[in-house]
Amino acid sequence: MAERGREERFWHWPGRSLALEGLEAPPQGHLEPQPQLSIDWEGSQNLYCEGDNLEILKLLVPHFRERIQLIYIDPPYNTGHAFVYNDRSGGGHSAWMGFIYPRLALGWQLLAPGGSLAISIDDRELPYLRLMAEELWGEESLVACFPRLTKKAGKSSAAIARNHDYLLLYAKKPATFYLPPHSDPGFKYRDEYFSERGYYKLNQPLDYNSLQYSPSLDYPLEVEGETLYPGASYAKYLERQAGNYARADWAWRWSKELFNFAYAQGFVVLKRYANRVRLYTKTYQKVKLEKVGGQWQVVPYERTKRLSTLEFLANPYSNDQAKKDLARLMEPALFDYAKPLALMERLCQLTTGPQDWVLDFFAGSAATAQAVWELNARQGARRHFIMVQLPEACAPNSRAYQVGLADICAIGRQRLRLARERLQRENPQPGDYGFQVWRWAEGPAPA
């Protein structure tokens, strides 16, 4: 990784050089197929990879470089404990940075142009993660930092209960988002243009007094035999024309050129009241007014609903809901750190099309994979996933170990088997509800 010429963007911590060495070192192993652990080995494109994600990401890059539309990760937070991953970076924040840095760099290589990378993180590592991500990808790549509700209540010995974490969303420019269509009850009127413009709403008067006054937008209009002035007062109009106006004062929202065009196209309505008349403008569902080549035109327009940065403070995105998601399939006690399906489904809806690839290289119980299947089933889509998870052993006294699930990968595979069975019962439509299991092994691949 070349650093010359960009020194001002780089910062240093103990273990940084080791992180760069880990990034630049060639892969030390290969992936071996495990058909006996897979479902529909021959027919499925979904991949479930078991092993250290740093090594596996290096093996994925030649095959999936710039092909992944969404990467979601929930990396281990720095809680002061040692990582189960191979790590030589020291302790504390330095260890965590040395651990995550090369994985972020490789993830970006896999991300498609227009793709998104979403990361769940707590407040301890949030500032360090942002510095690393923006060093690697540029600060302009940050789309938003969402707070996320983790739980609404719970016992805590601290004076302040920690009930949220964060979701950082980055995008490889130009970002591609799939915002849902937007409408509201105000779109309830029809006119002669309904077949091409859809319903319209009538809630915006043409005049206003809440923005900075502009003399060029303060002029009389002749409509249906009436001479109209902003604010409906000829006397006040004369005062403004004489220079006596406030910073925010009455004016029209449109220039005279735009008004003349919009009026001729049916975008203006005159309403008569007991002691005044007022102009309103139509907002249509399917079109808008736009200047094209220096001329105003009526152009097609798809109204969409923007995602709020407060979106993930709702209970469906909480860890409480994640436990309920898991309970629909298996004992919640089998895995403690699952993320809610609604979170991954919402991210997939926002960032991926129906044929795109989704990667989670801290797969855990494979909730991301299940979310991809659930969304595909509802939309009739064929997104594919790649899950990567270290086969961390379950403790002998854990419930998972007691029911025969020896490691986290076994939990993930079992979750997907059960999710597949439920989906095929409840929504028996064709789709790729299988996965190929590949397991990392040291050394070169057999000839």
431 CB neighbour count, 10 Å cutoff: 17
Residue 381, CB half-sphere, CA atoms under 13 Å: how many?
A: 20
**Strongest mean pLDDT among 244-248, 307-311, 384-388, 428-432:** 384-388
pLDDT value of residue 85: 52
pLDDT score recorded for residue 221:
96
CB-based contacts of 174, cutoff 8 Å, min separation 6: 113, 114
- Return d(Cα 365, Cα 142) in angstroms, integer: 27
| 8 Å CB contact between 362 and 337 | no
Distance between CA atoms of residues 361 and 355, nearest Å: 20
Question: Confidence class of residue 7 from pLDDT cuts 50, 70 and 90?
Answer: very low
Confidence of residue 8 (pLDDT cuts 50, 70, 90): very low
Measured CA to CA, the distance from residue 225 to residue 272 in angstroms comes to 12
- Identify the CA nearest to 354 among candidates 41, 39, 69, 60: 69
| All structural domains of the chain with their residue ranges | 7-179+306-442, 194-300
Q: What is the model's pLDDT at position 9?
A: 54
User: Per residue in 265-297, pLDDT tens?
Assistant: 999 999 998 888 999 999 999 999 999 999 999
pLDDT of residue 10: 62
Task: Return the closest-CA partner of residue 109 out of 168, 178, 23.
Answer: 23
φ and ψ at residue 75, rounded to 5 degrees: -70, 160
Q: What is the mean pLDDT of the chain?
A: 91
| 84 pLDDT above the threshold of 70 | no
Residues 120-175: pLDDT tens digits? 999 989 999 999 999 999 999 999 999 999 988 766 667 888 899 999 999 998 88
Mean pLDDT of 105-133: 95
Flag whether pLDDT at 204 surpasses 70.
yes
Highest mean pLDDT pick, 7-11, 275-279, 324-328, 364-368: 364-368
Q: What is the pLDDT of residue 160?
A: 84
> CB-based contacts of 211: which residues, under 8 Å, 6+ apart?
248, 251
> Cα–Cα distance between 399 and 160 in angstroms, integer?
31
Which residues 6+ apart lie within 8 Å of 111 measured at CB? 66, 68, 69, 71, 117, 172
pLDDT at 318: 93
- pLDDT at residue 155 in the model: 63
Mean pLDDT of 68-85: 72
Please compute the mean of the pLDDT values over residues 163-188 and round it to a whole number: 91
Q: Beta 221-223 vs 226-228: how paired, if at all? A: antiparallel
- Thinking of the domain 7-179+306-442, which architecture would CATH place it in? 3-Layer(aba) Sandwich (3.40)
Work out the percent of the chain whose per-residue pLDDT is above 90. 74
- Comparison of pLDDT for 6 and 325, the residue scoring more: 325
Report the side by side order of strands in the sheet with 384-389. 29-33, 436-442, 47-50, 384-389, 357-360, 68-73, 111-121, 164-171, 142-149
Q: What pLDDT is recorded for position 92?
A: 76
Q: What is the distance between the alpha carbons of residues 444 and 446, in angstroms, rounded to a whole number? A: 6
Structure token digits, residue 187? 């779109």
CA distances from 226 to 219, 276, 409 (A): 14, 11, 75
Is the pLDDT at 87 greater than 50, yes or no?
A: no
Token pair of 390 as six digits = 């270290």
pLDDT band (50, 70, 90) for residue 23: very high
In the chain, the amino acid numbered 242 is A
pLDDT in tens, 383-401: 999 999 999 999 999 999 9
Is residue 313 within 8 A of residue 402, CB to CB? The reply is: no
pLDDT of residue 428: 77
pLDDT (mean) for 43-65: 97
Residue 80 predicted with pLDDT over 50: no
How far the first Cα of the chain sits from its last, in Å, is 31
pLDDT > 50? residue 311: yes
Q: What is the pLDDT of residue 210?
A: 80
Q: How confident is the model at residue 5 (pLDDT cuts 50, 70, 90)?
A: very low
